[in-house]
Amino acid sequence: MIIVITGASKGLGKAMAKQFAGAGNTLLLNARNEIGLNKTKNELSKEFPQSSFHSFVADLSVKEQTQSFAEWCLQFGTTDILINNAGQFLPGSVHNEEDGVLEKMMETNVYSAYYLTRALLPKMMNNKNGHIFNICSIASIAAYANGGSYSISKFAMLGFSKNLREELKPYQIKVTAVLPGAAYTDSWIGSGVDEKRIMQAEDVAKMVYAAAQLSPQACVEEILMRPQLGDL
């Protein structure tokens, strides 16, 4: 299978790449950070020689770079699984965050997925096969202090997923919105939060992988996950 993962150099993206790497798949990985992306690609190539790994550095908040990445992906064939994971968190409140934060959050967290999905879908629709995972957040369903434009963008990402789900039913393409709570990634290092208090990135990756293994007749529409003790 051809599996496209954005934001794949670390955190949830890297964990999901590892989950899909054990079955002899072709993984097309994207991130903004070239050093981090190459490091991840090399690590996975050594650990999972049965799969092939290819990387493309692009900032998907820029439409033109998203389109370039999509064109590169299509050279490998029709996408079987697309994981829209690229994202960024800028804390703040609607009333006092800097001008331009909403635009930045929408470009990174929503438009990146929108334009990449639009570019890859025609071949998937023609094949009447495929699975799209949109990495949303608990912030997609519950407002919280200091969420600001980030939370707005994640609400939009969930709406995007719901619309796609309805549109793509006739084409046998599944759409799953993933709504994880706090999971221990690099962004939590130095925060003072005990890593045992929150989920592991691998927990989310395992659920995404499991949802991708079901029969064609079954679609997991949403994966909602929280730490055992609840949100922070």
CA–CA distance, 171 with 189 (Å, rounded to integer): 42
pLDDT at 127: 97
Mean per-residue pLDDT for 47-60? 97
Does 190 score more than 80 pLDDT?
A: no
Q: What is the pLDDT of residue 191?
A: 79
Confidence band for 26, pLDDT divided at 50, 70 and 90: very high
In a domain, 232, yes or no: no
* pLDDT mean over 177-205: 88
Q: How many domains does the chain have?
A: 1
- Residue 150 a catalytic site member: yes
Share the mean pLDDT of the chain.
95
- Over residues 96-116, the mean pLDDT reads 97
The yes-or-no verdict on residue 150 having pLDDT over 90 is yes
Give a yes or no: residue 74 inside a domain. Answer: yes
Q: Are 136 and 76 in contact (CB under 8 A)?
A: no
Could you report how far apart the first and last alpha carbons of the chain are, in Å? 37
What pLDDT does 175 receive? 98
* pTM of the complete model: 0.96
Please indicate, yes or no, if residue 41 is contained in any of the structural domains: yes
* Whether pLDDT at 168 is above 90: yes
In DSSP terms, 224 is beta-bridged to: 179
CATH at 159: 3.40.50.720
User: Residue with structure tokens 């609840």?
Assistant: 230
pLDDT band at 163 (very low <50, low <70, confident <90, very high): very high
Higher-scoring residue by pLDDT: 160, 192: 160
Q: How far apart are CA 212 and CA 215, in angstroms?
A: 9
Residue 189 has pLDDT above 80, yes or no: no
Q: Can you tell me whether residue 61 is helix, strand or coil?
A: coil
Strand partners, 200: 184
For residue 220, being part of any structural domain is answered with: yes
Residues sharing a CB contact under 8 Å with residue 179, sequence separation 6 or more, in sequence order: 136, 137, 138, 140, 141, 158, 222, 223, 224, 225
Please provide residue 108's backbone torsions phi and psi, each rounded to the nearest 5 degrees. Answer: -80, -45
Do 130 and 173 touch, CB atoms closer than 8 A?
yes
Q: What's the pLDDT tens digit per position in 110-138?
A: 999 999 999 999 999 999 999 999 999 99
Task: Name the residue range of residue 210's domain.
Answer: 2-225
Please check whether residue 129 lies inside any domain of the structure: yes
Is residue 231 situated within a structural domain?
Answer: no
Residue type, 186: D
Active-site entry in 114, 150, 184, 209 = 150
Residue 55 lies in a domain: yes
| pLDDT of amino acid 192 | 84
